[in-house]
Amino acid sequence: MKIDEIYSVILGSKSPRRTYLLSQMGIAHSIRTEDTDESYDPKMNPFDVASYLANKKSEAIQITEGEILITADSVVILDDEILGKPRDMEQAFEYIQRMSGRVHFVDTGVTLRTIKKTIHFHEVAEVKFSPIATTEIQMYLDAFKPLDKAGSYGIQDWIGLSKVIEIKGTYTNIMGLPTASLYSHLQRFID
């Protein structure tokens, strides 16, 4: 039996990538969001932030009996520092330049919630970029304008196809939703 045959699945995210991934999993869903303060204590362990924000988003959204809510947040971590969504193109350039030729981490936190039960989990992927020339960074920013993406890049576009040379973890986690883990955790609501 599928989760969407038991619950009305609600995705608490405006991310087109998360919607795409849920659809590819064959899970019928609708979208419901609330504006949420995404601040966090800067002293917090960077690997706890995504889960904290996913839970914060979940708590802001009202659900009713028969609904299951999925919220998620992804952060890019380099040198124990979170590279969030860049405030402008200059910061986006700086982020990508710092990641060039190096390894960084993508941590996605997920909260699943019904009226009776809540499950939290997160998944970390390690991503290695080959060196990226300044002209390539500028071309990427001009063509893809990644200001809405943590760390200033999307794994599914040019930079992922041309400059990611190694991944330890799952590709979908880097896109913003660790689908294999999500599927496994959703089964707990069926069994």
Tokens standing for 73? 């947040």
Is the per-residue pLDDT at 191 higher than 80?
no
Q: For residue 124, what is the enclosing H or E element?
A: strand 118-129
Per-residue pLDDT tens for 96-120?
Answer: 999 999 999 999 999 999 999 999 9
37 catalytic residue (yes or no): no
Please name the CATH architecture into which domain 3-190 falls.
Answer: Alpha-Beta Complex (3.90)
pTM (global) more than 0.75: yes
Give residue 22's identity as a one-letter amino acid code. Answer: L
> Rounded CA gap, 119 and 185, in Å?
8
Q: For residue 155, what is the enclosing H or E element?
A: none
pLDDT for the residue 1 = 75
Q: For residue 50, what is the enclosing H or E element?
A: helix 46-60
Per-residue pLDDT tens for 128-141?
Answer: 999 999 999 999 99
Query: Of 73, 79, 88, 191, which one is the catalytic site residue?
Result: 73
> Rounded CA gap, 79 and 29, in Å?
37
Domain boundaries, the chain: 3-190
